[in-house]
Amino acid sequence: MTAAHETDWDDVQLHVVTGKGGTGKSTVAAALALALASRGKTVLLCEVEGRQGIAQMFDVPPLPYEERRIASGPSEGGDLYALAIDPESALLEYLSMYYRLGRAGKALDRFGVIDFATTIAPGVRDVLLTGKVYEAANRNKRSKNAREYDAIVLDAPPTGRIAQFLNVNSELAGLAKVGPIRSQADTVMTLLRSKRTAVHLVTVLEDMPVQETADGIHELRKAGLPVGGVVINLVRSKELDDDARDDALNGELPREHVVKVLERAGIKATEPLVDGLLGEAPAHAERRALEDEQRERIVALQVPTYELPRLPDGVDLGGLYELAADLCEQGMS
């Protein structure tokens, strides 16, 4: 169920979240999933790297290979489910679905066949992971006992590996180039390349992550994968407006400006405090100038952008809801 509300991604069902390591992919994926749930959607948040990041963020026990309800949206009651996908379980499920292997599948597992298939055969691992996401995205009323999701959010591998991860077709080797794995890969690719999918990139306002974002967008486009938005995470609040920033850069920030800002914030502008701030101002302004430069590079990429603040006390569950509300407000969901 979707609220009568326009967002930048109304037609998108599968949101893939990537970005440079440590920039906040998992945090943003979780916040986006909550934001979609807050719009009344039934949402599935998936992780594929075996790190149990979702369980940690939502403060629940480690997730099994089974969809678990972990939260409801802040209003309107959309439910959020989570799933940790690992290639071994996905392969066993796949075998039991296609070959009705049942217990025989478990035996394969014991003999190490599953390990072999998921670690040795290049590309098969990724087909299994994305294949499970595909399965969850394609349920309908006829799918027995299966929950239908309005939206799926995937906490995906980092930018450096994302095109390869999603571009499962070209990665298959040997036996997997023909037969059922191949046709599974083809079906998955059809979803991943369609308008139902958007690959969002998370970044921070620093040179390397922004460069990786630009490169990532280029790679995705080259692979025919749909680029979504850029989420700028960990944004510091703007203590100085642009004019004040320029003054501070030149060491010419007027004393009265600092006094005025402090008074507006209800802080007593004592002489040592004002002196201290004036002393720090050039360094702060310099950092701001660098960040503004990175922001311009991101704008030049010409995709929708969203900003999330650096939460001063880190991200707890309350913080996730705050970030979710920010994404809603900016039209990401």
Ligand X SMILES: Nc1ncnc2c1ncn2[C@@H]1O[C@H](COP(=O)(O)OP(=O)(O)OP(=O)(O)O)[C@@H](O)[C@H]1O
Closest CB 154 distance from Mg ion, rounded Å: 12
Could you give the 3-state DSSP secondary structure of residue 140? coil
Tokens 């650096």 correspond to 310
- Look at residue 233 and give the partner it binds from ligand X, Mg ion, none, a contact being a CB closer than 5 to 8 Å depending on partner kind: ligand X
In this structure, what token pair is assigned to residue 27?
């945090």
The nearest distance, CB 264 to ligand X, in angstroms, is 25
Binding residues for ligand X, rule: CB under 6 A, are 19, 21-27, 158, 233-234, 308, 310-311, 314-315
CB of 89 to ligand X, least distance (A): 21
What residue 122 binds from Mg ion, ligand X, none (CB within 5 to 8 A, per partner kind)? none
Would you call 177 helix, strand, or coil by DSSP? helix
Is residue 196 packed enough to be buried (19+ CB in 10 Å), middle (13-18) or exposed (0-12)? middle
Q: Which listed option, Mg ion, ligand X, none, makes contact with residue 83 (CB within 5 to 8 Å by class)? A: none
Is residue 78 within 8 A of residue 72, CB to CB? The reply is: yes
- Minimum CB–partner distance for residue 267 and Mg ion (Å): 37
Minimum distance, C-beta of residue 155 to ligand X, in the bound complex (Å): 7
Count other C-beta atoms under 10 Å from residue 195's C-beta. 10
Q: How far is CA 268 from CA 35, 235, 256, 265, in A?
A: 39, 26, 13, 9
Nearer to Mg ion by Cβ, of 25 and 288: the residue is 25
Chosen from Mg ion, ligand X, none, partner binding at 23 (C-beta under 5 to 8 Å by type): ligand X
Q: Provide, rounded to whole angstroms, the least separation between the CB of residue 184 and Mg ion.
A: 26
Minimum gap (Å) between residue 5 Cβ and Mg ion: 29
Interface segment toward Mg ion; rule CB under 5 A; list 20-28, 30-38, 246-254, 321-329: 20-28
Residue 258 to residue 271: CA distance in whole angstroms: 11
How far is 183 from 247, CA to CA, in rounded Å? 62
Query: For residue 97, what are the CA distances in angstroms to 102, 161, 284?
Result: 9, 29, 58
Which of 13, 26, 184, 203 contacts Mg ion by CB under 5 A?
Answer: 26
In this complex, which beta carbon is closest to ligand X, that of residue 25 or of residue 41? 25
Let me know: does 198 contact 152? Beta carbons within 8 Å: no
Tokens read off for 326: 């920010």
**Window 46-85: residues binding Mg ion (CB under 5 A):** 53
DSSP letter (8 states) at residue 174: G
Closest to ligand X by CB, 184 vs 233, is: 233
Q: Which does 78 bind (CB under 5 to 8 A by kind): ligand X, Mg ion, none?
A: none
Instruction: Report CA-CA distances (Å) from 277 to 30, 247, 249, 291.
Output: 36, 14, 13, 20
* Sole window of 21-29, 75-83, 259-267, 323-331 interacting with Mg ion (rule: CB under 5 A): 21-29
Choosing among ligand X, Mg ion, none, which partner's interface includes residue 308 (Cβ < 5 to 8 Å by kind)?
Answer: ligand X
Residues near Mg ion (CB under 5 A) are 25-26, 53
